[in-house]
A and B are shown apart, each in its own frame.
Chain A
């Protein structure tokens, strides 16, 4: 079975500061991992995904995430926060078989302080 834990339901950072959103996963098979972003009143948008090709994954809008098997983690980072990054971020895991259902974490709401 797959599951995801996101530590911190709310994270606040100053504009220009480092963004770090934490995600730990549990999977009985090598996982596929995803980060999605949800802006207010919009659908979820894929930021990046890990597919075992490379442990450091670069996504859109300057975000990246590193897969660490030993820590079962896939934390999302961005060196310098912009006001436009304020949104809710979801980590998700899939085993990639069958239906490829995504199992989501509870989300982290990112606030960027001017």
Chain B
């Protein structure tokens, strides 16, 4: 596709359940980022991939959060034992490379609601 896509667009889950969020980056983009956007707040960095390795996981809020990436393609963000404070929009972005003033291209996000 032409842009970054994310699925599902909306996810409602019950507290304690696990969820998987998917991101399809722009083809050929080596760098992939996950951000979280809580209501009324700015975007919060979660994790960054260069290829399929994650050199920077510093933004993951707890060990309930994990992410993986297959090659330079799809990435999955998994949240285990979801809590209400996990409710947010999760945004994925990709860029041709990391470093320098390179534009990050964002997907439309997945809105997660934890009841």
Contacts and interface: CB of A to CB of B under 8 A. Distances in A.
Contacts, number: 78
A50 B93 CA distance: 19
Interface string B92-109: 010100111111111111
B99 A106 contact: no
Contact of B95 (A98, A100, A104): A100
A101 B48 contact: yes
B56 A102 contact: no
Interface of B: 3-4, 31, 33, 35, 40-45, 48, 50, 55-56, 59, 91, 93, 95, 98-109
A46 B94 CA distance: 13
A50 B103 CA distance: 11
Interface of A: 4, 6, 9, 32, 34, 36, 41-46, 49-51, 90, 92, 94, 96-107
Contact of A100 (B4, B42, B102): B102
Contacts of B31: 99-100
Contacts of B48: 99, 101
B91 A99 contact: no
B109 A98 contact: no
B56 A101 contact: yes
B55 A99 contact: yes
Given A98-B56, A100-B31, A43 B42 contact: no
B60 to A, nearest CB: 13
A101 B40 contact: no
Contacts of A43: 3-4, 91, 105-109
Nearest to B55: A99
A42 B89 CA distance: 12
A95 B95 CA distance: 16
Given A42-B108, A101-B56, A32 B99 contact: no
Given A43-B4, A43-B108, A49 B98 contact: no
A106 B41 contact: yes
